[in-house]
A and B are shown apart, each in its own frame.
Chain A
Amino acid sequence: MIFRTPLEGIEHPEMEADVVIVGGGPAGMACALRLSQLIDAHNAEHPDAPLSKENIYVLEKGREIGQHCLSGALLDPRSMNELLPDWKKEAPIEAEVESDSVYFLTKKSAFKAPITPPPMQDHGNYVISINRFTKWLGSKIEETGITIFSGFAGSELLFEDGRVAGVRTDDKGVDKTNQPKGNFEPGYDLKSKITILAEGSRGSLTKQLAGTLNLFKDRNPMTYGVGVKELWEVPAGRIKPGEVIYTMGYPLTTKEYGGAWIYGGKENTVSLGFVTGLDYPDPRTDPQHVLQSFKQHPFVAKLLDGGKMVRYGAKTMPYGGWWSMPPLGGNGWMIVGDSAGFLNSQRLKGIHLAIKSGMLAAETAFEAWMSGDSSAKQLGTFQKKVEDSWIREELYPVRNFHQGFEHGFLSGMLNTGLLMATGGYGIRDRYPAHAGHERMLPVWDLMGHPGGRSQLLGWSKGDGKLTFDKLTDLYHSGTRHEEDQPAHLIIKDTDICSNRCAKEYGNPCQFFCPANVYEMEDCPGEAGKKRIHLNPSNCVHCKTCDIMDPYQIITWVPPEGGGGPSYDGM
């Protein structure tokens, strides 16, 4: 197996840039749009000395904007109202939220909460498809004249004298053995004054930056959940557009964190999915199986009966909260959106925060551009802008929310009550956190562990109508990659897979990956020994493996640009 390593001796063509935004999701798009607005305002006042948008670039690894975007999703309109006051007139909206309810599920029953807890109340919010919404934002960018390079991934950060000097894009046309093919094109070195990382959850350049500059030194480790989603078409009348349902409990036990969402969209489409916290103890837990078991609950089965599954996908979400966010700006760089963890873990909403963070980063970038100073001092003002804005008003009170659940569901609920009463302080500010993968138990420690979790463990068999096995689900994600390229899941030492992990954890990668990328196959000629086999072209770019592998030896890097899932309508 050959992993993606930079080719030696390749000269990379260079291009100068004023601002490079890595990632075309809501944060990246909002950042570009806001920057364009600031430039237009400036040029209107200084017609003799206009600024040019020509050297502002957005890199997006998907073939088109929105292609890799997946979420529930519910949009809090607060930041869109600031960015584009008339957005409701043109943006694609599935429905305005009409009703919201929270259910607690046991194996057979569903108990509705008498009132929806205030953080989960969604009146004033909108059910959207993040894929369609971001695509629309992309069209707004195209009108502005800022260049979007879709099909190009940010492959490596460029460093010079301790500052981030820009981004290198992916090499194209490299074959399975890491040799250039006939259509080889080296990646471009975009030498940029300001680089803004908007890569989404567990960004790879963000990981590189964090490692190089030890960004998480005084921070809690980021904690994640993986959302596994299916889009369904159901018979008319089953659910109203704008109906929002959250569930807790079954199929999870008190040892796991997570819950489901069900949103009614337009024309009888239902967005449903299950977020499984990536801090579960049993290494055989399979988040895709969790979703299938969830659908078998009578409450959900009734809704979906006779319907058709249209699309499938998965993505991780960072809900470590305020204490696990890295420094936001430094020498030549800023981090926005999910890459920095701009997510309200209590409300489980982050799109509006991603958009606002993109806007504030654009304002910081604009000021830096005008002053010619993109040093840590200047770009560090991004941190201050965030702290002075409603982002902090929203995120600070819930800063200890997720940590409260580290000892299980019940203590989590108790903690939540306590936190809400104390404005987020709780017992002692701040609550520590542990990286989720550290909570995974080796197989021998599972002996004393309570049972009753077979509905979470191992591969789902699927009945083909209501529930599906992983491969069938995966087919509906529209995932495609250029087959002849090196594997983009870099495993530091595959011997660990065969010799240690097989015994200690039973190779959980086979289960936590929602896309069947990881398989253990028999070693030919060595009875009883298994080795890892990768199917990288199945990858849906969720980053679960990078997060959850107990030895932290897996690094996800972008495959050749253009490849990945096709999340139409997700």
Chain B
Amino acid sequence: MGRYILFRLVGSIPVLMGVVIAVFMMVRLVPGDPVKILTGGGARVTQEQQDALRRQLGLDQPLPVQFVSFVGNLSRGDLGTSYRSKRPVSDEIRSRIPNSAKLAGLALLITIVVGVLTGVIASTHKGSLVDLATMFVATIAVSVPGFWFGLMLILFFSVRLGWLPVSGADSWKNLILPAATLGLRSSAVLARVTRSTMLDVLSQDFVRTARAKGLRERIVIYRHALRNALIPIVTLVGLELGALLTGTFIVETVFAYPGLGLLGIQALQTRDFPLIQGIVLVTATIYVVANLCVDVLYGFLDPRIRYMS
């Protein structure tokens, strides 16, 4: 197992290096003079000020030199300074991460609990009204835009009933609606996949054997069948992690929830490139690490995967 984890760990290093290169190139690919963009068209800034900024950003240096200093700064945790707030990008990001982590974490929990449970229930009641109803709801839920669902939740629970706050992040109550919005689509996707995987597993011989030797149905389903359906389920959760991570960009904007995603959208709207760069880098890194965890989880779930690599 140790070797397997090490193997996966080493495998993700080139990807992270590629991510750094891609993020570095992103800003350099912006058409036009970056100094003009940073100074909002450059109309109100003198030529001297522009040249000074160019030197300060290292933009007068050749690309490889710029890259070396970019990586050097990165290794010291220096992501540059936000153009709008004039604060270090790393501070801006660090102050937002806990909020986004709470939101994405709760959404992930909702996804797993709701998705797996409804999928299992639908599969064990195949063809029944329960099955048809949950799969119908799941099909609709996959088609609902998250931002619109969020608006409808605000309209109902906050405006009409007054139960939950409309926006902000002052208490745990602020988390409920955004997390439900964020988890809706992933739950539906997971429910569908869990159902079809469970249907495959439930028709296999070992399930019949377990039933034949007199095990209770709950044990057959949750201990024998579900465990063997976990690989596709975990794969999908890994894929949905990406959707949850970037879903925060939209959902946080809808609920004016002060997380990394809202910061990112604001940075995009104001073309605050140092901040965009930092947020993209952090989000991608989180995703790569999360996928690493999923890979390691595979090794635990299925010994064959461990030995193959």
- A and B part of one assembly: no
Binding site for A on B (CB under 8 A): none
